[in-house]
Amino acid sequence: MVDSSPGASPEAPRRSARLVLIGPPGAGKGTLAENLCSFSFDHISSGDIFRGHVRNQTPLGQRLGKSLANGQLVSDELTLETMKKWFWSRKPSQGFLLDGFPRTLSQAQAFDEWLESRSIKLDAVIHLHLQEEAVVKRIAYRRVCPKDGRVYHLLYNPPAREGICDDCGTELIQRPDDREPVIRERLRIYRQKTEPVLTYYREQGLLLTIHSEGHAADLAKTVEQKLQPFFAIR
């Protein structure tokens, strides 16, 4: 038996899982990834990978700066090139939770081809649903550390000292793409480009939709319970 409660002891056996996490910005994807304790996986955020390139001013980062700050999607070509490197650098047996990828139908179709070529199957696709106005409200309170990328929420997860990162003492900032006009644009793009991906996975019987209002620990518990049948039939 797997202990499916969040906060399960580190000794409890964890089931290796291959999951995709889809939801609008601010739906709580990163927090959910941290709280899913009964599964073992690497949490891979395509947004974090891209932000890392921008921060470190790599050649890719220099090409990406503007699209990230304006809330536009990075082209499918660059995204697939970047994510392909991640995919082929890992062992097929390793679990993963992909956060932010795939985000367009062509990305989802390409990803399916990669999986098939290594005989890997996804276990489930978790879709976090949140009303748009709730998204805007949540993101207005988000602050990040520009040095180490740690994310805070001024109401629910504030730093110990106002405006300062707990880990490295750097002054926190609001991400340029967390400003309200940019958020509205990101939501428009989400509806246009990412909602078709939900239909794609629904048709494959992989989609688990969860409403993400409420407390993070309760959300993780609900997701862990609702994921069980996806593993039972595979």
Phi, psi (degrees; rounded to nearest 5) at 201? -80, -30
Strand duo 96-99 + 42-45: pairing: parallel
The separation between CA 210 and the C-alpha centre of its own chain, rounded to angstroms, equals: 14
* 103 contacts ligand AMP (rule: CB under 6 A): yes
Sign of CA dihedral 108, 111, 115, 117: positive
Residue 68 to residue 65: CA distance in whole angstroms: 6
Is residue 55 among the annotated active site residues?
A: no
166, amino acid identity: D
Is residue 186 among the annotated active site residues?
A: yes
Binding mask 126-165 for ligand AMP (x = CB under 6 A): ----------------------------------------
Q: Which of 18, 51, 143, 186 is catalytic?
A: 186
Nearest distance, CB of residue 101 and ligand AMP, angstroms: 4
Stretch of residues binding ligand AMP (CB under 6 A), selected from 100-108, 119-127, 143-151, 214-222 = 100-108
3-class SS at 213?
coil
Nearest distance, CB of residue 25 and ligand AMP, angstroms: 5
Q: At what angle do helices 76-88 and 59-69 cross, to 10 degrees?
A: 130
Is residue 142 among the annotated active site residues?
A: yes
Is residue 29 among the annotated active site residues?
A: yes
* 67 contacts ligand AMP (rule: CB under 6 A): yes
Q: Number of residues in contact with ligand AMP, rule: CB under 6 A?
A: 17
Is residue 147 among the annotated active site residues?
A: no
Stretch of residues binding ligand AMP (CB under 6 A), selected from 5-13, 96-104, 136-144, 214-222 = 96-104
Which is nearest to 19 in space by CA: 8, 34, 33? 33
Pair of tokens at residue 123: 């276990």
Residue 219 to residue 211: CA distance in whole angstroms: 8
Q: Which of 79, 130, 220, 230 binds ligand AMP (CB under 6 A)?
A: 79
Residues making contact with ligand AMP (CB under 6 A): 25, 46-47, 50, 67-68, 71-74, 79, 100-101, 103, 107, 177, 186
Catalytic residues: 29, 103, 142, 175, 186
